[in-house]
Chains A and B, each alone.
Chain A
Amino acid sequence: MEKSTSIRNYRDILIKFQSLLALVILCFVLAMMTDIFFTSSNMLNVMRQISVNICISVGMTLVILTGGIDLSVGSILALSGALTAGFLKFGLELPFFDTFIGFTIFGAVLIGILSGTALGTFNGLAITVFRVPPFVATLAMLTIARGFTMLYTKGFPISGLGQNYAFIGTGWLLGIPVPVWIALTVVAIAFFVTNKTRLGRYIYAIGGNESAAQLSGINIRKIKTIVYAIAGGLAALGGIIVTSRLDSAQPNAGASYELDAIAAVVIGGTSLSGGKGTIGGTVLGAIIIGVLNNGLVLLNVSPFWQQVIKGFVILLAIIIDKSNTRK
C-alpha cells in the first residue's frame, strides 16, 4: 500500500516534469555532440530566436485552453508587421483632408498591436456570435490577413526602418537581447493572468466544460473574444519583433508560424481539447523546438533530415501525453 502510493507520486512527478525532462535530455545529447552548444553566446542566440514563437505560443495556449485553435497568427503577424513598418516609414496620407500624418516608433508600434488585436477580436466575434468553428474562422482569417498584407505591401518588402526601430529586435539590455526581455514580460503577465486572476480561472473553466461554465454564469462570449483578441495582439507583437530584427517587413513573413506555436503548446503538455495545460509548459515546448532547430544546424544535419526529426519529436511528445491521459 505504502509502496504503490510512492510509485504513483513518482509517476505524477515524472508526468508533471516530462517536458523539462525531455529538454534536459535533448540538451545533454547536444552538449555531448558539440561543445559549442552550451556556450553562453549560443544560449542567448537560441533565446533570441525563440522569443517570437514564445509570444505567439502564449496567445495560442490561452486559445487552446478554451478548447479553440488559432490558425491565423502567422498572417496577423505579417499584416501587423507590415502596417507598423509602413506607418513608420511612409506615415499616413489623408487625401480628403489634404494632410499627412507621420508616426513615431511608439505610434507605429501601437498601430501594429491594435491592428492585431482588432483582427483577433474579429476572430472571436466570428466564433462566438456567428458560431463559426474556431478552426474555420481562423483559417478564413489566415487567408484574409495574408491577402490584406499583399494589398498593403503590393507584394514587396518594406525595408530600411532605421537604427532606433532596430533596437526592438537587435538591441541589448543588461547583457540580454531585447526580444528576450519582451518574451519574458509576456510570459510573466500570462503566468499571472492564468494563475491569479478571474479571467484565468474562467479560461480553464470554459475549456474544461463549456456548458458547466455557462451554467455557473460565466460570460463565455466575452471571455472567448478576449482570448482571441489577446492571441491577435501577441501575434502582432511577434510581427513587430520580426520586422525590427530584419529591418524589413516581408509580405510572406510568419508563414506556418501557427504550426510552430501549436507544436510548442502541445509539446508543453497542453491538451488540444482544452482545460488542461500551463504557460510554463508552453515555454518549455518553445525552448525544445528552438534548441532542436539550433542543434540540428550546429551539427550541420542535412535539411532533409531536419524536417523528419522535428516531426518525430512532435509525434513523440503527443504519444507520451496520450499515454498519460489514458491511464
Chain B
Amino acid sequence: MISNVKNFGLFLIFISTFILFHACKQKPRQRDTKKIAVVISTLNNPWFMVLAESAVKEAESLGHEAKIFDSQNSTALEADHFENAIVSGYDAILFNPTDSDGSISNIQQAKIAGIPVFCMDREVNAKGVATSQILSDSYSGCVAIGKHFVKSLDKKGRYVEIIGMVGDNNTWNRSSGFHSVVDNYPDLIMVAQQSGEFDRNKSMEVMESILQAQPDIDAVFCGNDPMAMGAYQALVAAGLEDKVKVFGFDGASEVITSIQDGKIQATGMQFPELMAKTAAAFADQYFRGEREFPEKTPVSVELVTEENVRFYIEN
C-alpha cells in the first residue's frame, strides 16, 4: 500500500516534469531580453578569460543576459553545461569547444532543442551543426610566423620547438602551419621538440633541460605566449637570451611588451575580443529573425614583430 502511494507520487512527479518541460518549450517567450550561455573550454588561461568576458560584455551591451560556463577542458562537463542550458531555457549558446570532434554531439543536442550555437576560436569538424563558426586561423597564423622565422634566421640554424598539450588540436594546427614553411629549408634543423603543455613553468623547465643537451641553438618556436615567456626565462638563466631568438603565438600583452623591448622576436596576434563580438552580434541577429549565416568566418591572425609592434601596444 505504502509502496503504491510512493510509486504514484513518483509517477506524478515524473508526469509533471514532462508537462512542465513541454510547456516550457512550446510557449514562445514574450520578452525582448534573451538569455545567452557562454560556454568556454577553460578559464585557466587569460586568453580565454578575455574571450569569455568580451562575449558577455557584448551580449549585455546588445541588451541580453549572459552567463559564463567553464568546461574546465572536459568535454563531459561541457555536455552537462549544454544540458543545463537547454533545460533552463537559454536562447543561444556562444561556444568555445573543448574538442573539435568530442564537442560535436553537444552542439547537436542544442540544435535538436532549437538553440543556435555560435562557435568561437576552436573549430568543430562537422558541417551544418553549429549555426556559424567564428574561427581564429591558427594554421595560417603560424605559416606567417614560419615565414618570419625563416627570414630572421637567414634560412639556416638549429632550433627547438616547444609544443602545447599533445592532445589538443590547436597544438597541431600551429605546429603543422609552422612546419609547412620551415621544413622546406634543409639547413634549418630542429634539434628538439618537446611539450610545454601551454604552461609557463612547464615550458621553462623543459627548456632548461633542453639547453643542457643543446646549448648551441639559434631559435625557439613556442606554441603559445606563456610558453614563450617561460622559454625566454630559461634562456636568461643560461645567459643565452641575446643569442637565441624566441617566437610565440597568441598576442599576450606581456609578450607584446617583450617584443617592444627586443626580448622576443615575434608572435601571432589573435583577436579574442573580435571573435567574441562577432559571435554575440550573430546571436543578436538570430533573435531578430536572421537565419542565413556563413558556415565559417575566419578571423585572421596578425604577425607582430619589432617593426609593427607599436600598433599593438595597449594604452
Chain A residues with a Cβ under 8 A of chain B? 34, 36, 39, 41-42, 45, 48-49, 150, 154-157, 159, 170, 242, 245-248, 250-253, 255, 293-294, 297-298, 300, 303-304, 306
Contact = CB atoms under 8 A, between A and B. Distances in A.
Contacts of A157: 46, 200, 226, 254
A128 B49 CA distance: 38
Contact of B213 (A36, A154, A170, A247): A36
Given A155-B43, A303-B163, A245 B195 contact: no
B46 A297 contact: no
A298 B209 contact: yes
**Secondary structure at chain B's binding surface: helix, strand, loop or mixed?**
helix
Given A36-B212, A154-B49, A300-B213, A170 B237 contact: yes
Interface string B192-210: 1111000111001110111
Contacts of B46: 155-157, 251
Given A298-B213, A300-B192, A300-B213, A250 B201 contact: yes
A45 B226 CA distance: 21
In the complex, which range does the number of interface residues on chain B fall in? 20 to 34
Contact of A45 (B209, B229, B254): B209
Contacts of A156: 46, 49
A159 B201 CA distance: 13
Contact of A252 (B199, B204, B212, B254): B199
B200 A39 contact: no
Given A42-B209, A246-B229, A297-B206, 5 more contacts: A49-B209, A156-B46, A156-B49, A300-B191, A306-B195
Given A159-B254, A247-B233, A300 B45 contact: no
A298 B213 CA distance: 6
30 contacts: A36-B212, A36-B213, A42-B209, A45-B208, A49-B205, A49-B208, A150-B43, A154-B49, A155-B49, A156-B46, A157-B200, A157-B254, A242-B201, A245-B201, A245-B204, A245-B233, A246-B200, A246-B229, A246-B230, A246-B233, A250-B201, A252-B44, A252-B45, A253-B201, A255-B44, A297-B209, A300-B193, A300-B194, A303-B166, A306-B195
B210 A250 contact: no
Contacts of B212: 36, 39, 41-42, 45, 294, 298
